[in-house]
Structure 1
Amino acid sequence: MSEGTDETTGREYWDARYSESERVWSGDPNAVLVDETAGLEPGTALDLGCGEGADAVWLARQGWRVVAADISAVALERARRHAAEAGVGDRIDFQRHDLATSFPEGGFDLVAAFFLHSWNDLPREAILRTAASRVAPGGTLLIVGHVGEPMWVEEIGAYVELPTSAQVLESLEPAAQEWEVLVSRERTRAHAGPGGHTADSVVELRRR
């Protein structure tokens, strides 16, 4: 992974990161997404930080119409190819956004924000509050992030705050009369690389 610097923009960093190899991620949907959306009626979904498109493609295959956003043009091009090869390209609208400065418009039945971590000054709490504002009445907000120091922190040479599920929930400031908390927990999972395992925070809310 390339090391970030103060002079490198988020777009430049992530384009360079994705350009380092033909594929960065596995191509499989995140297990938490599969588990937590299993009982939801397909509708409209917003996938924030979609990367190479595995989650968006999986949602589209389940019948969702998806807006998928990422900061990297390189990642989005791979995601479009993945969607086309899977036969769901017409069900996904891929959009390039630096979520600190622009955001997809509209309301959605599902808003998913997975691993929105970055070495640069990413206003994650503000982004997640904006994500919550995009959830339609009766819709679901699903946030997953790393907890504890991940292996890549040493590679990029930067501190990244990785809050617990309770801290994420507190930062969202969900009003009890507006939101129902479905899940707020940590999930330990096996990791394919060296280092054994890591933990993820999982927060799932439903707008009343």
Structure 2
Amino acid sequence: MAHAHNQHSPGTETGTDFVGEEFWDSRYRESERIWSGDANAVLAREAAPLAPGRALDLGCGEGGDAVWLARQGWYVTGTDISGVALERAAVHAAEAGVADRTAWERHDLAESFPSGEYDLVSACFLHTFGEFPRERILRRAAAAVAPGGILLVVGHAGWASWQEDRPEVDFPTPDEVLAQLELEAGAWEVLLAEEHVRVQNQPDGRPGTRTDNALKVRRLP
């Protein structure tokens, strides 16, 4: 679980079940850095106008989004299934001078979830193979949003241009994600529900394309 730029993207290791701390720790140990360290473009765009408060980054990976938010003045809790990723995220935060604005918690979100309420909850690219209760996790994410706060869900809308489709992986649309959240009627407003195409390098370095989507909802005060 994690982000674009820091994302655990299905299809990278075809045939592997993307579940378990051991798998992800091993994946991160394959190189000194897996992701770019930059924030997801959609997160940066959608969070930039918001007044900083408390943020929760689900599937934070090596901390690119969390560190970016902390630099904007947020107090951020980042969570990931991989302890290796979290160690790197803490180093990234210290190097960026925002260690005092970041906290890191290891959670298998299928089993446990951070406590508290947050002004922003970000769930970027929570896709995986195998048994993974994504809908239930996103409902818990919505429940963690404070009155007046934002839930931002960013995901893939399908396979990248260089990947073979695999029907066992579900890529819900923004409207489907909204329905899965089961939000209380009259208690939320939809601020964004869109698909967008971006350029992403293939494993061989050549440019390819991938379609992503985003849902941004606000809990009414």
User: TM-score when scaled to structure 2?
Assistant: 0.87
In 1, Cα distance between the equivalents of 2:15 and 2:78? 25
Q: Is the 8 A contact 2:160 2:208 kept in 1?
A: no
The residue aligned with 1:113 is 123
In 2, Cα distance between the equivalents of 1:42 and 1:145? 23
* Cα distance change of structure 1 residues 158 and 18 upon mapping to structure 2, 3 Å threshold: farther
In 2, Cα distance between the equivalents of 1:151 and 1:118? 18
Task: Among all aligned residue pairs of Structure 1 and Structure 2, give the percentage whose two residues are the same amino acid.
Answer: 58
How many angstroms does 1:175 deviate by?
Answer: 2.6
* Cα distance change of structure 1 residues 114 and 9 upon mapping to structure 2, 3 Å threshold: closer
In 2, Cα distance between the equivalents of 1:158 and 1:148? 10
In 1, Cα distance between the equivalents of 2:61 and 2:81? 8
Superposed, 1:4-153 pairs within 5 Å as 9-150=19-160
**Structure 2 residue ranges without an equivalent (≥5):** 1-11
Q: Is the 8 A contact 2:76 2:103 kept in 1?
A: yes
The residue aligned with 2:216 is 204
Runs of 4+ in 1 over 4 A off after TM superposition: 1-6, 151-154
In 2, Cα distance between the equivalents of 1:172 and 1:153? 29
Opposite residue 127 of structure 2, the aligned amino acid is H
The residue aligned with 1:187 is 196
Q: Is the 8 A contact 1:2 1:13 kept in 2?
A: no
* Cα distance change of structure 1 residues 9 and 32 upon mapping to structure 2, 3 Å threshold: closer
In 2, Cα distance between the equivalents of 1:192 and 1:117? 19
Pair 1:166-2:175 in alignment: yes
* Cα distance change of structure 1 residues 79 and 181 upon mapping to structure 2, 3 Å threshold: same
Higher helix share: 1
User: TM-score when scaled to structure 1?
Assistant: 0.92
Name the SS for the 1:191 alignment partner.
strand
**Structure 1 residue ranges without an equivalent (≥5):** none
In 2, Cα distance between the equivalents of 1:2 and 1:35? 30
